Structure 1
Amino acid sequence: MFPWCIMPDRPRCLPDFEGTWALNRRIEHSDGTLAHFDGQAIWVPDAEGLCQEESGTLRIGKGTPIVAKRRYLWRPELSVYFDDGRFFHDVPPLGGKAAHWCAPDRYDVIYDFASWPEFRVTWQVSGPRKSYRMDSTYRRTHG
């Protein structure tokens, strides 16, 4: 890991995310259903930036745990794409707000880098199809 990557008060850049992170996530649906995800997120170089893969165990309510995976593509300007190439959102380099519109639902996010190299991402999703709050904490495990 480069020494400047541990500085919490400077803008984040793509190399800051490369490596392995422990990932813990809590999802609270508007109907009161709770879900928890425990796993890891790994950012590895690809031809255009970094590929992020999240993998772990998802438990919805008291249900049987299931294996869950998701991939995203991160580009140098901190633009995030779904693994099929569709644009998702831009990550604010200093932390802060961003949004994604997936008709008819709206996805609002806040990135919090204040405790870098740990960071938090909070999504508030609202609309007729989806309504939940998702809080994720990433803790670096390997550079």
Structure 2
Amino acid sequence: MPTERTLADFAGLWVIERAIVPRQGSAAQFMGKAEWTPSADGLDYIETGTLRMEGAPPMQAERRYRWTGDLSVYFDDGRFFHKVPAFGGRTPHFCDPDTYIGTYDFDGWPDFTVTWDVSGPRKDYQMISTFTRRADP
């Protein structure tokens, strides 16, 4: 039986590797770090790293989210994004007209994978992110 993840499980520094695989066209890769740090109402998440796409110079990229105690994830502007399934599994996000179906896999904890299958008239790709716990220096 899988272990239930709690907000505290994610706190700290992680290495992140991400593959973005479109149904058509060239893939992209992101490599960097992700860090969950305590905030007044949960954990602030920030990832920073380098995005590489075919035919373009490497770019610095960054994302920010807020995670709350019930594993709800919010965009940095406060809009709800999705809820992380505590035991792993699927979670939807609708960004009209596109649909995002996320899958959290905690089977290799403390490493874990998040896969987003994205489909719609504007988007059609899969994004696979692997998180590996990094010891604090």
* Same-fold status (TM-score > 0.5): yes
Cα displacement (A) at 1:9: 3.1
Q: Calculate percent identity across the aligned residue pairs.
A: 51
TM-score scaled by length of structure 2: 0.96
Aligned residues: 136
Give runs of ≥4 in structure 1 deviating > 2 Å.
none
- Amino acid across the alignment from 1:85: G
Q: Secondary structure of 1:142's partner? A: coil
Q: CA deviation at 1:30?
A: 1.9
Mapped to 2, the partners of 1:81 and 1:15 lie a distance apart of: 17
The correspondence of residues 44-59 of structure 1 with structure 2, limited to 5 A, is: 44-59=37-52
Which residue of structure 2 aligns with residue 3 of structure 1?
Answer: none
Q: Distance in 1 between matches of 2:18 and 2:97?
A: 24
Q: Deviations over 1:51-91 (max 9, x none)?
A: 00010000012421000000000000000000000000000
Query: Once the 2 structures are TM-superposed, how far is the Cα of residue 128 of structure 1 from its aligned partner?
Result: 0.6
Q: Find 2:91's aligned residue among 63, 88, 98.
A: 98
3-state SS in 1 of match to 2:131: strand
Separation of aligned partners in 2, 1:43 and 1:73? 9
2:26 and 2:41 map into 1 onto residues whose CA distance is: 38
* Distance of 2:55 and 2:127 partners within structure 1: 18
Distance in 1, matches of 2:121 and 2:12, equals 37
Give the letter aligned to residue 41 of structure 1.
Answer: A
> 2:114 matched to which residue of 1?
121
What pairs up with 1:34-49 in 2 under 5 angstroms?
34-49=27-42
Q: 3-state DSSP class of the match of 2:77? A: coil
Alignment-derived partner of residue 4 in structure 1: none
**TM-score normalized by the length of structure 1:** 0.92
Residue among 17, 23, 27 paired with 1:24: 17
User: Structure 1: which 5+ residue stretches go unaligned?
Assistant: 1-7
Name the residue aligned to 1:108.
101
Q: Which residue of 2 aligns with 1:71?
A: 64
